[in-house]
Structure 1
Amino acid sequence: MNHDQPPSLQPRHATARNQERATDGALVARFSELLGKPLIPWQRQVIDVISEIDPSTGTYWYDELVLTVQRQAGKTTITKSYDVRNSLWGPDRKTWYLAQTGKDANDQFRDFVKSWRKSRLRKLAKPPRLSNGSMALEFKNGSQLRPGGATEAAVHGVQGDLINVDEVWSLSKQQAKNLKDGFIPTTTTRLKLTGVRPQIWWTSTEGNASSEYFNDRLDRLRAGDIPDRTAFFDFGIPFDADPEDLETIWRYHPGAGYLFDFDQLAGFRRQFDDDAEGWARAFGNIRDAGSTDRAIDSLLWADTMDEPVTPEHGMRVCFGVGVPLDATHTVIAACIGVGGGLPPLVQIVDDLPGTGESPARLLALQNDYRAPVCIDPRGPSAALADVLANAHDPHTFERVYRLSDMRAADAVTAPQSFVSALEQHNLTHASDRLADEQVCRATKRKSGDAWLWNRSAGDVSALEAMTMAYWGYMHLPEWEADDIQVF
Structure 2
Amino acid sequence: MTTTSTTWRPPTEFVDQCRELYGLTCPPMWGTPRRPELPTLGGKVAKVMERLGFTPMPWQRYVWDVALEIDPATGLFWHRTVGLSVPRQQGKTQGLLAVKVHRAAAWKRQRIIYAAQTRSMARERWEDEFWVTIEASRLARRFVIRKANGHEAIIHRATRSRIGITSNTEKAGHGPPLDLGIIDEAFAHEDDRLEQAFSPAMLTRPMAQLWWASAGGTEKSAFLNKKRKAGREMIEELWRTGEHPRAAYFEWFAPEDMPRDDPATWWATLPALGHTVTEDVIRAELETLDPAEFDRAYLNRTRKATPPPDPNVPRDRWPGLVDEHSRPGGNLALAVDVSQDRAWSSIGVACERDDGRVHLELVDRRAGTDWVVPALVRLSALWRPLVVAIASSGAPAGSLIDDLVTAGLTVPEDKERPHRGHLAVVRTNDFVEACGQMADAMNQGSAVHRDQADLTAAVSGARTRKVGDAWVLDRWNSLVDVAPFVAVTLARWALVNRGPHVLDDYDVMESVY
TM score, norm. by length of structure 1: 0.53
2:258 is aligned to: 241
2:300 is aligned to: 285
CA distance in 2, matches of 1:153, 1:137: 22
Once the two structures are TM-superposed, the CA of residue 151 in structure 1 deviates from its matched residue by 4.0
Q: Given that residues 17 and 48 in structure 1 are in contact (C-alpha distance below 8 angstroms), is that contact kept between their aligned partners in structure 2?
A: yes
Q: Given that residues 12 and 238 in structure 1 are in contact (C-alpha distance below 8 angstroms), is that contact kept between their aligned partners in structure 2?
A: no
1:66 is aligned to: 83
What is the aligned-residue identity percentage? 30
1:187 is aligned to: 202
Q: Which has the higher contact order (CA 8 A, sep 6+)?
A: 1
1:146 is aligned to: 164
The answer to whether 1:271 aligns with 2:288 is yes
Paired amino acid for 1:279: F
CA distance in 2, matches of 1:159, 1:291: 44
The size of the alignment, in residue pairs, is: 277
The answer to whether 1:211 aligns with 2:195 is no
Q: Given that residues 209 and 289 in structure 1 are in contact (C-alpha distance below 8 angstroms), is that contact kept between their aligned partners in structure 2?
A: yes
2:33 is aligned to: 16
The answer to whether 1:201 aligns with 2:219 is no
Once the two structures are TM-superposed, the CA of residue 9 in structure 1 deviates from its matched residue by 0.8
Once the two structures are TM-superposed, the CA of residue 131 in structure 1 deviates from its matched residue by 4.2
Secondary structure at the counterpart of residue 128 of structure 1: strand
Secondary structure at the counterpart of residue 96 of structure 1: strand
Which deviations, in whole Å up to 9, do the C-alpha atoms of 1:307-353 show, x marking residues without a partner? xxxxxxxxxxxxxxxxxxxxxxxxxxxxxxxxxxxxxxxxxxxxxxx
Unaligned runs of 5+ in 2: 1-22, 239-243, 309-513
The partner residue of 1:232 within 246, 249, 264 is: 249
Paired amino acid for 1:249: W
Secondary structure at the counterpart of residue 56 of structure 1: coil
Once the two structures are TM-superposed, the CA of residue 289 in structure 1 deviates from its matched residue by 2.1
Once the two structures are TM-superposed, the CA of residue 35 in structure 1 deviates from its matched residue by 0.4
2:110 is aligned to: 93
- CA change 1:155–1:37 in 2 (3 A) is closer
CA distance in 1, matches of 2:203, 2:119: 28
- CA change 1:247–1:157 in 2 (3 A) is farther
Paired amino acid for 2:287: R
CA distance in 1, matches of 2:200, 2:119: 24
Paired amino acid for 2:178: G
Once the two structures are TM-superposed, the CA of residue 23 in structure 1 deviates from its matched residue by 0.6
Q: Given that residues 24 and 58 in structure 2 are in contact (C-alpha distance below 8 angstroms), is that contact kept between their aligned partners in structure 1?
A: no
The partner residue of 1:166 within 184, 187, 194 is: 184
1:3 is aligned to: none
The answer to whether 1:27 aligns with 2:50 is no
CA distance in 1, matches of 2:53, 2:149: 25
Paired amino acid for 2:301: I
Map of 1:60-459 to 2, 5 A cutoff?
60-110=77-127, 111-125=129-143, 127-140=144-157, 141-151=159-169, 154=172, 159-173=177-191, 176=192, 178-191=193-206, 197-224=207-234, 228-272=245-289, 275-290=290-305
Paired amino acid for 1:290: A
Secondary structure at the counterpart of residue 261 of structure 2: coil
Which deviations, in whole Å up to 9, do the C-alpha atoms of 1:62-111 show, x marking residues without a partner? 11001100001011111101101112232211001111111221222121
CA distance in 2, matches of 1:292, 1:154: 36
Once the two structures are TM-superposed, the CA of residue 11 in structure 1 deviates from its matched residue by 1.4
CA distance in 2, matches of 1:133, 1:270: 42
Paired amino acid for 1:209: E
The answer to whether 1:56 aligns with 2:73 is yes
Paired amino acid for 2:271: P
1:464 is aligned to: none
Q: CA RMSD, aligned part only?
A: 2.4
Once the two structures are TM-superposed, the CA of residue 292 in structure 1 deviates from its matched residue by 10
CA distance in 2, matches of 1:268, 1:250: 15
Paired amino acid for 2:160: G
CA distance in 1, matches of 2:149, 2:210: 24
Which deviations, in whole Å up to 9, do the C-alpha atoms of 1:135-187 show, x marking residues without a partner? 211112221001233347548678510001011122123xx1x3233222232
Secondary structure at the counterpart of residue 112 of structure 2: strand
CA distance in 1, matches of 2:277, 2:196: 39
Paired amino acid for 2:83: V
Paired amino acid for 1:187: M
Secondary structure at the counterpart of residue 106 of structure 1: helix
CA distance in 2, matches of 1:116, 1:208: 33
TM score, norm. by length of structure 2: 0.51
Paired amino acid for 1:165: I
Secondary structure at the counterpart of residue 115 of structure 2: strand
Q: Given that residues 98 and 165 in structure 1 are in contact (C-alpha distance below 8 angstroms), is that contact kept between their aligned partners in structure 2?
A: yes
CA distance in 2, matches of 1:7, 1:238: 20
CA distance in 2, matches of 1:153, 1:69: 28
CA distance in 2, matches of 1:61, 1:52: 6
1:477 is aligned to: none
Which deviations, in whole Å up to 9, do the C-alpha atoms of 1:418-460 show, x marking residues without a partner? xxxxxxxxxxxxxxxxxxxxxxxxxxxxxxxxxxxxxxxxxxx
CA distance in 1, matches of 2:80, 2:65: 14
Once the two structures are TM-superposed, the CA of residue 119 in structure 1 deviates from its matched residue by 2.1
Once the two structures are TM-superposed, the CA of residue 132 in structure 1 deviates from its matched residue by 4.0
Once the two structures are TM-superposed, the CA of residue 60 in structure 1 deviates from its matched residue by 1.3
Unaligned runs of 5+ in 1: 1-5, 192-196, 294-487
Q: Given that residues 183 and 194 in structure 2 are in contact (C-alpha distance below 8 angstroms), is that contact kept between their aligned partners in structure 1?
A: no
Q: Given that residues 100 and 170 in structure 1 are in contact (C-alpha distance below 8 angstroms), is that contact kept between their aligned partners in structure 2?
A: yes
Q: Given that residues 173 and 197 in structure 2 are in contact (C-alpha distance below 8 angstroms), is that contact kept between their aligned partners in structure 1?
A: no
1:436 is aligned to: none
CA distance in 1, matches of 2:208, 2:172: 18
